[in-house]
A and B are shown apart, each in its own frame.
Chain A
Amino acid sequence: AQSVTQPDIHITVSEGASLELRCNYSYGATPYLFWYVQSPGQGLQLLLKYFSGDTLVQGIKGFEAEFKRSQSSFNLRKPSVHWSDAAEYFCAVGPNSNSGYALNFGKGTSLLVTP
């Protein structure tokens, strides 16, 4: 079965500090992995994706993520957080061929940025 676990429900970081959001997945084959960001009351925006190749992928807004097959992880990182990064972050894995190639999403990590 496919699933995504985001162990941290809430994370608080100071502005300018580094950030790492954790994501662990379960998938029967080589996964396609994604990170999305959601601002309050908005839809989800794709930050980055991993299909194959280089295990360190760069995304928008200065984010990057590293795929580690041995750990079944796809953690999101940013070297210096800005106040505008406060949002909800979702990790997703797919595709699920039994659901129209939909993605399975984690429950999200809420990021709070303090001055």
Chain B
Amino acid sequence: SQTIHQWPATLVQPVGSPLSLECTVEGTSNPNLYWYRQAAGRGLQLLFYSVGIGQISSEVPQNLSASRPQDRQFILSSKKLLLSDSGFYLCAWSGGGGTAYEQYFGPGTRLTVT
């Protein structure tokens, strides 16, 4: 069966510090991968998606970036965090084709920028 991992689970970082959040998927190959940010009362905001290794598309201009160095690894980064980067970050994967559009989510990372 497929599993998706995210770490760390929680993170407290000062403004201006770098960020690296990691997501890995097990039990599937060539998944579509997604990073979402969730703010209270605002639902899920799609930040980045990737349909293959090295293929990253950004949905929202911001000081965040994403990379996919391996098929089942997705990394969210920032060189300098802003207060507005605080939130709950969710990684998700989907089969990416046919009728396999449902997304499966990781447990999330709670980021607090101080």
Contacts and interface: CB of A to CB of B under 8 A. Distances in A.
Interface of A: 9, 32, 34, 36, 41-46, 49, 51, 90, 92, 94-95, 99-103, 105-108
Interface string B1-26: 00000100000000000000000000
Interface in B85-114: 88, 90, 92, 94, 96-97, 99, 101-108, 110
Q: Is the interface of B mostly helix, strand, loop or mixed?
A: strand
Contacts of B34: 100, 102
A90 to B, nearest CB: 7
A44 B108 CA distance: 9
Given A99-B57, A102-B49, A102-B103, A42 B108 contact: yes
Nearest to A34: B102
27 contacts: A32-B99, A32-B102, A36-B105, A41-B88, A42-B107, A43-B90, A43-B105, A43-B107, A44-B90, A44-B105, A46-B103, A49-B102, A90-B44, A95-B101, A99-B46, A100-B34, A100-B50, A100-B57, A100-B96, A102-B34, A102-B46, A102-B103, A103-B102, A106-B43, A107-B41, A107-B43, A108-B41
